[in-house]
Amino acid sequence: NAGVTQTPKFQVLKTGQSMTLQCAQDMNHEYMSWYRQDPGMGLRLIHYSVGAGITDQGEVPNGYNVSRSTTEDFPLRLLSAAPSQTSVYFCASSRLTSGPYEQYFGPGTRLTVT
C-alpha cells in the first residue's frame, strides 16, 4: 500500500492564482481531511469528508474548497491564493466504521504564496 499520497510536494503561487492540491489514499478509508500547519500553531483542520459526496468545514475553511467524488481522492482547491495561505498542508485519512480511528498523514505540500 502507498498509504496517503500528496502532490505536489512544493508549490509557489502568486497572489490571486488558483490551484488544486491532490490527495489520494489506497486504504479504503471512509474519512479524509485536510490540515494546515503554521509555525507555532500546531495543525488546524480545514475541511473533512466522511465519505464520497459528503464534505464539511473544519476550523479554518475560508479560501478553500473541497470535493469527494470517490473514496480514494480528496483534492483541496485554493480559489484565489493569498500570502496568508503560505503553509504546509497535510492530508490525512482514517477508518470510521471501526476503531481505533487513527489518522494517517500524507507527506505534505509546502505552499508559498508571494
Binding mask 35-64 for another protein (x = CB under 8 A): x----xxxxxx--x-x-------xx-----
Is the four-CA dihedral 64, 65, 71, 72 of positive or negative sign?
A: negative
State yes or no: residue 102 binds another protein (CB under 8 A).
Answer: yes
**CB closer to another protein, 16 vs 96:** 96
Local structure of 85: helix, strand or coil: helix
> Which has the closest alpha carbon to 88: 41, 27, 31, 28?
41
Which chain residues interact with another protein by CB under 8 A?
Answer: 31, 33, 35, 40-45, 48, 50, 58-59, 90, 94-96, 99-108
